[in-house]
Amino acid sequence: MADTELLDATFAALADPTRRAILARLAAGEATVTELAAPFAMSQPAISKHLRVLERAGLVSRGRDAQRRPCRLEARPLREATAWLADYRDYWAESYQRLDTLLDELQSIDRTGTGRRPARPNGTGG
């Protein structure tokens, strides 16, 4: 699966609250489908459908332990989604820094009592 397809599949899988709850449970350790279905008011086949979506996204894998088929969390797709989101976190951090600078300028003007507004970005005065 290409990187963009994996990212799409990851976000699609994370869009559902039941699947997020399943991942949260698996973060604590392996679990069977029966164990994963226990806290939900839905059938085991419905949980299995959610698990298939998570498996296609690479977020869950199933092993074999005698008769058990435990599910386990696979973190790599989450790491890639986090890296993708980090670019936007940097963007917002820079935007907030510019806003903080502007607020500091406005407060400075207010404290000096000049009543003048700072120049607008296009160079015109207040």
User: CA-to-CA distance for 49 and 37, rounded, in angstroms?
Assistant: 11
Tokens of 122: 């296009």
pLDDT at 12: 96
- pTM higher than the cut 0.75: no
User: CA-to-CA distance for 30 and 61, rounded, in angstroms?
Assistant: 10
Check pLDDT > 60 for residue 64. Answer: yes
Average pLDDT for 97-112: 86
pLDDT band, residue 124 (cuts 50/70/90): low
Check pLDDT > 70 for residue 60. Answer: yes
Asked if 34 and 23 touch (Cβ cutoff 8 Å), the reply is no
Average pLDDT for 96-114: 84
User: Cα–chain-centroid distance for residue 40?
Assistant: 23
Per-chain mean pLDDT for the chain: 87
In the chain, the DSSP E strands lie at 60-62, 71-73
Check pLDDT > 70 for residue 49. Answer: yes
Q: At what angle do helices 76-112 and 3-14 cross, to 10 degrees?
A: 80
Check pLDDT > 70 for residue 121. Answer: no
Check pLDDT > 80 for residue 6. Answer: yes
User: CA-to-CA distance for 45 and 34, rounded, in angstroms?
Assistant: 10
User: Cα–chain-centroid distance for residue 37?
Assistant: 23
